[in-house]
Amino acid sequence: MQAQTEQKQLRIIDCGLADYKQILDLQLKLCEQRRTGQISDTVLIVEHYPVITLGAHKTANRLCVSHEQIRTKGIDIVEIRRGGGATAHNPGQVVIYPILNLFELRLGVREYIARLEQIGKSTLEQIGVISESRNGLPGLWVGGKKIASIGVHVREGVTSHGIAININNDLSIFDLFIPCGLDGVKMTSVFNETGQRHPMIEVKQKLYPLLIKSLSNEYDECKTWL
């Protein structure tokens, strides 16, 4: 990947379908490059092979079965440093990882999370689902069901991790743990709510202008493919 030093350009990188650990390593590399000014603000868009991630809040990581039982289903388990509890990723879910300098954008963490929620709301609305946020519970909800999860990490003003939105994915993976450590939470998806499947390329095309509008005020779009 060629670093870009022009700080007024937002890079949007479509990573396709990728292993979670591979993208985690890429995030860490890009975060360090962003902190040292080697690259401009960057957003990764990705689908993951099945994985359950455990957040920094240990009490919110509540598995319903053993690690061994999860792995026998072909699902990886990864401990990471982000807010929130356990969540899951699998194909058919779009995941957005912004690597941004909040100082330069003059954003606080709460405002940044609100912008992630707005990106999710606007994307979902365009494909037929009306969602809402809840005070103190980052993410998006459709009635009493959760359709998008947010967990972020900020170090020296630079963000990592982000938002995952359920589009067409298999929701049975969420039966293996208590999502975000919240009792009684049921997960849903665009497919569950509408009965319609949306190609991921269609979802991504709707995301690009929303990312530019919400995460920068003057940046030009630049797409790079891995």
- The catalytic residue positions are 180
Q: Please give the C-alpha separations between residue 113 and each of 116, 198, 209, 214, 225, in angstroms, as whole numbers.
A: 5, 25, 18, 11, 26
Identity of the residue numbered 44: L
- Distance of alpha carbon 10 from alpha carbon 39, whole angstroms: 10
Other Cβ atoms within 10 Å of 220 Cβ, number: 10
Residue count (the chain): 226
Q: Torsion angle of alpha carbons 214, 198, 200, 153, nearest 10°?
A: 50
Which runs of consecutive H residues, i.e. helices, occur in the chain? 20-35, 67-72, 102-105, 109-126, 190-194, 200-215
CB atoms within 10 A of CB 137: 14
